[in-house]
Structure 1
Amino acid sequence: MPASSTSLKQKPSVLTPIQLIYAGGTFGSYGRPLAPLDADVFLPALQQLLSEHNKTDNLPAISWLDNTLIKDSSQLTPNDFVHFYTLLLEAYAQGLRQFVLITGTDTLSYLGAFLAEAFAGSDICVVVTGSMRPLLDSEILQTYAIDANSDAWDNLSASLRLAAGGEPGVKISFGGEAWPAQTVQKIHSHDFMAFTGHMRAAYPANSYQKRLPAARLQHWIDDQLTLSASIQAHVEHASIYPIYCVPNSPDVLSAQLSALLEQPPSGIILLGFGAGNVPYSAGLADALSRAYEAGHMVVCASQCPFGGVSDSYAAGSWQYDYHVLAGGRLTIPAIYARLLWLLLRYDTPTRRRQRWTHTINQSDTAAKRNR
């Protein structure tokens, strides 16, 4: 849709229902064996349960945002991330502002971080949630009933209340806590407290506006709509490749990296030891230089869940002389999300690198202020 054909509708009032998006995952699974319910089955059941519990739980009003993409989150691809971005963008352009997205936990932190990057500078409010156990009790086959031993209802209730507050930004709500999306990572494979994050978030969290004036909001939306066709075209070839350091010969790393050099310009995450230490070899240094010349963005991240990377150790600092970008304190999902958005949003490797450096500098400055 051309930007000129879209005009912003009047801002919704605070009574406008929260738009609920169901995208599958454990949350909507049911039966023996467990399998995700189709939307036309699950959503009416969920709506009935919300109506029954509304009086006691005092939940905000909701409406459904139609979504055709329902799949296990481990199967999500960059194309799917763009689908959810487009779905939210079109609703936002029509004046809707508060959303709750239910998805699976495998890639929940990746999707949340991507949406945070994509909507930077707006005043949208998106809460992403899921569950470690299904909402519905599969032991009760005569009717749909909430599983009292599941975390799903509590996660949904908390997310709806958070979205009702309308604070701009993309957040992840899980296990009784909520964090800016780009700080979140999954730390447990089956515990209810499966995710963690922190509130010392810089960009893109600090780019969100409390409430954009109508003219600025229209300008933001027009810019995004104008880029939609380009983003759809770029996503067909956008790939992010991880290279994980283990105690091998550096020749293994150089061989892995060299194998990617014939691919279109992409994002490459080099997962180093500790503060980003990577074993040196002349072959790896040469491969990094060739990756840069081919237009790839190589970013060093830490395998550690907290702390990020540093150039204070010689074992890690050498790589930055060969055009590797530092991941700073970003999580692996956040690095993936930022690389993917840069590949979709900007046309040239130079502009992508400039934007990466700008956003990382913003993050580092904010981190120093928060110490």
Structure 2
Amino acid sequence: MHAHSASISSLSSPIQLIYAGGTFGSYGKPLAPLAAAEFLPALQNLLAKHDKGHQPAIAWLDNTLIKDSSQFNARDLAHFYNLLLDAYAVGHRQFVLITGTDTLSYLGAFLAEAFAGSDLCLIVTGSMRPLLDSEIIDSYCVDANSDAWDNFNDALRLAAAGESGVKISFGGEAWAAQTVQKIHSHDFMAFTGHSRAAYPANSYVKMLPETRKQHWLDDQHAIVDSIRACAHEATIHALYCLPNDPEVLCLQLQSLLKSPPCGIILLGFGAGNIPYSPALAAALQQAYDCGHMVVCTSQCPFGGVSDSYAAGSWQYEYQVIAGGRLTIAAIYARLLWLLLRYDTPARRRQRWAHTVSQTSTTIHKNR
């Protein structure tokens, strides 16, 4: 791992910039992400050109994984975990990660799960339009009509502030990564989230003593090879409820039961309502018996699930886990991390239950 310095000010610990492709770094006709060897020097020159004397120091962190974020998989998310872990282990703490918007919320939420308990400061950002103006072919210039430059500078400011945690910065706002979802396919205000996340399992330590940090790193390094290996097998499925007979959903679920233990997200109606049938109930119980984790969430973008309606509460008698207010991206991220981190279905469910009980307590205290 090498960090190529592009120091703009005299901060002793520069912000580590990770470029992973996406719309932000796309250029030309048709648009395609520039290679890091071409894009990062161009970005460095633009930063130097626009420096008003108060830019933070920046270093480029080598990243070999640059591709359209719609192509990301579990192995790719684990790659960024490993990349950040290596940099954090040698003393870097403040990071900005530029990625594509298609899976930006998934990647941010996963890294929030993976670095819980640390004092890492990571800001994830991207853009809906490229940073560079493709109409200008003789030099690289910032597109004045793009959101990329503002998003990037907002992310740098947040990273320079150094507050522990994983945040997503976009459209002039920033939120805890676990609360963020994409709500528009092309508008500059493409994401939303909320600031009172209350997810203590993903909490961060403001001032982490060196001894505790080393213990945290030792724990992570002890499992990193296992996580890398498990990422080749870990799978999360999503079953979307539609106005069909319950047997349709039952058949979809039964087709997964012979696979190795995986995560299954049920996207229910309203507050998590699922059509009932005895066969579907039996399939849900069988999924649990086979080691799968089934989590119910809502198709609605806000509000989460509730057990107050009989139309939805029946499933929890068959070992389905309520997704609460977690977004789909956050549920995916938590399921994936549990599959990678813990080696048995019992330990995974225990960890999820521990998370939920702490979350409820924190929400209650914040009211």
Scaled by the length of structure 2, the TM-score of the pair is 0.96
Are 2:11 and 2:56, in contact at CA under 8 Å, matched by a contact in 1? no
Deviations 1:179-206 (A, max 9, x none): 0000000000000000000011122576
Matches of 1:221 and 1:115, distance apart in 2: 15
Given candidates 87, 104, 108, the residue that maps to 2:104 is 108
Are 1:261 and 1:290, in contact at CA under 8 Å, matched by a contact in 2? yes
Matches of 2:45 and 2:201, distance apart in 1: 35
Q: Does 1:210 align with 2:206?
A: yes
Q: Does 1:164 align with 2:165?
A: no
Residue of structure 2 equivalent to 1:3? none
Matches of 1:336 and 1:206, distance apart in 2: 14
Are 1:327 and 1:335, in contact at CA under 8 Å, matched by a contact in 2? yes
Given candidates 181, 185, 208, the residue that maps to 1:185 is 181
Amino acid at match of 1:216: R
| Sequence identity percentage | 74
Residue 364 of structure 1 aligns to a residue in which SS?
helix
Residue of structure 2 equivalent to 1:20? 17
Q: Does 1:92 align with 2:92?
A: no
Structure 2 unaligned blocks of 5 or more:
1-9
How far the C-alpha of 1:365 sits from its partner, in A, is 2.5
How far the C-alpha of 1:364 sits from its partner, in A, is 2.4
Residue of structure 2 equivalent to 1:8? none
Matches of 2:297 and 2:122, distance apart in 1: 27
Q: CA RMSD in A?
A: 1.1
Residue of structure 2 equivalent to 1:36? 33
Given candidates 339, 343, 347, the residue that maps to 1:343 is 339
Distance change in 2, residues 1:320/1:328 (3 Å): same
Deviations 1:286-312 (A, max 9, x none): 110110011000000011111111111
Residue of structure 2 equivalent to 1:254? 250
Structure 1 unaligned blocks of 5 or more:
1-12
Given candidates 255, 271, 276, the residue that maps to 2:272 is 276
Q: Does 1:68 align with 2:67?
A: no
Amino acid at match of 2:303: G
Matches of 1:137 and 1:205, distance apart in 2: 42
Matches of 2:253 and 2:31, distance apart in 1: 39
How far the C-alpha of 1:363 sits from its partner, in A, is 2.0
Matches of 1:23 and 1:123, distance apart in 2: 23
Matches of 1:85 and 1:204, distance apart in 2: 20
How far the C-alpha of 1:15 sits from its partner, in A, is 2.7
Q: How many residues align?
A: 358
Matches of 2:357 and 2:272, distance apart in 1: 18
Alignment of 1:206-355 (within 5 A): 207-355=203-351
Are 2:16 and 2:61, in contact at CA under 8 Å, matched by a contact in 1? yes
Matches of 2:52 and 2:223, distance apart in 1: 44
Amino acid at match of 1:247: P
Residue 52 of structure 2 aligns to a residue in which SS?
helix
Matches of 2:168 and 2:311, distance apart in 1: 35
Scaled by the length of structure 1, the TM-score of the pair is 0.95
Matches of 1:368 and 1:23, distance apart in 2: 38
How far the C-alpha of 1:370 sits from its partner, in A, is 3.3
Matches of 1:84 and 1:42, distance apart in 2: 19
Residue 149 of structure 2 aligns to a residue in which SS?
helix
Distance change in 2, residues 1:304/1:369 (3 Å): farther
Matches of 1:364 and 1:59, distance apart in 2: 40
- Stretches of 4+ aligned residues off by more than 4 angstroms: none
How far the C-alpha of 1:54 sits from its partner, in A, is 1.1
Are 2:115 and 2:202, in contact at CA under 8 Å, matched by a contact in 1? no
Deviations 1:83-140 (A, max 9, x none): 0000000000000000000000000000000000000000000000000000000000
Matches of 2:289 and 2:131, distance apart in 1: 50
Are 2:201 and 2:355, in contact at CA under 8 Å, matched by a contact in 1? no
Given candidates 46, 50, 70, the residue that maps to 1:49 is 46
Residue 55 of structure 1 aligns to a residue in which SS?
coil
Amino acid at match of 2:43: L
Matches of 2:212 and 2:184, distance apart in 1: 41
Matches of 2:365 and 2:170, distance apart in 1: 27
Amino acid at match of 1:243: L
Given candidates 117, 123, 126, the residue that maps to 2:119 is 123
Matches of 2:272 and 2:55, distance apart in 1: 45
How far the C-alpha of 1:207 sits from its partner, in A, is 2.2
Residue 51 of structure 2 aligns to a residue in which SS?
helix
Residue of structure 2 equivalent to 1:134? 130
